[in-house]
Amino acid sequence: MKRSLMFLGLLIVVSVNAQQAPIIKFKDLNSLIQTKTDTTYVINFWATWCDPCVRELPSFLQLEKELANKKVKFLFVSLDFVRDYDSQFLPFLTKHSMNNYVYLLDEPDYNSWIDKVNPHWLGSIPTTVIISHHPDSTFFNEGELSYESLSKIVNSLIH
């Protein structure tokens, strides 16, 4: 009985976490990118094993906090392997208090979708895409961003 309760407890923990950081396919991300709303999306492609990604994360999290009442959403799209989800990915999120809008993109055929995110993307991470509708504008940057550059560009694109 005790063991099954523990198991149930574990299941609940896992499902809550999974809800916070769902595994998504490219079509899920794409529909989000394509949906025209007045919200500006800052999409950061990263991975727990990527040092420059981890280095720039605090800037993104700080700006996300500062702009919490603005029409801007920060999406953290991880390219970690699905097999590392429990062992590496979730513990990282807990350690860095990343609670919102974190996803793991399970789409190993990279060539099939990189150009759809942005044709300028050569394939390294971190890469950040900022999408704003009304008017349509896209900002793309392959490489690490400082808090200053990120803040400038995001502030210029939010309504």
Partner 1 sequence: MKNNKILIPVFAFLILLSSAFVVVDPGYKPGDKAIDFKLKNIDGKLVSLHDEKYKESKGFIIVFTCNHCPFSKAYENRIIELNQKYSTSGYPVIAINSNNAEVSPEDSYDFMIKRAADKEFKFPYLYDESQAIAKAYGANHTPHVFVLQKVGRDLIVKYMGAIDDNTDNPEEVTKYYVNDAINSLLAGEPVAVPSTKSIGCTIKWKKS
Cis peptide before 135 (omega within 30 of 0): yes
Residue 39 as a binder of partner 1 (CB under 8 A): the answer is: no
Residue 36 as a binder of partner 1 (CB under 8 A): the answer is: no
- What is the rounded CA–CA span in Å between residue 27 and residue 43? 15
Contact call for residues 39 and 71 (beta carbons, < 8 A):
yes
Residue 153 as a binder of partner 1 (CB under 8 A): the answer is: yes
Contact call for residues 129 and 117 (beta carbons, < 8 A):
yes
Residue 148 as a binder of partner 1 (CB under 8 A): the answer is: no
Q: Tokens 């198991």 belong to which residue?
A: 7
Residue 147 as a binder of partner 1 (CB under 8 A): the answer is: no
CB 95, min distance to partner 1, A: 18
Contact call for residues 24 and 104 (beta carbons, < 8 A):
yes
* Count of positions on this chain that bind partner 1 (CB under 8 A): 33
Strand partners, 42: 74, 130
57 or 97, CB closer to partner 1?
57
Residues that bind partner 1 (CB under 8 A): 49-52, 79, 81-83, 108-112, 114-115, 121-126, 135, 137, 139-143, 149, 152-153, 156-157
